[in-house]
Amino acid sequence: MKKAAQMTKAVQITKAAQMTRYAQVTQALQITKTTQMKKAAQMKPAAQMTKVT
Task: Determine how many CB atoms are found less than 10 A away from the CB of residue 34.
Answer: 10
Residue type, 23: A
Long-range Cβ pairs for the range 27-31 (8 Å, 24+):
none
Query: What pTM did the predictor assign?
Result: 0.53
Q: What pLDDT digit, counting tens, does each position of 38-51 carry?
A: 988 888 877 777 77
- The Cα diameter of the chain in Å comes to 78
How far is CA 10 from its chain centroid? 25
pLDDT for position 20: 94
Q: What pLDDT digit, counting tens, does each position of 4-23 carry?
A: 899 999 999 999 999 999 99
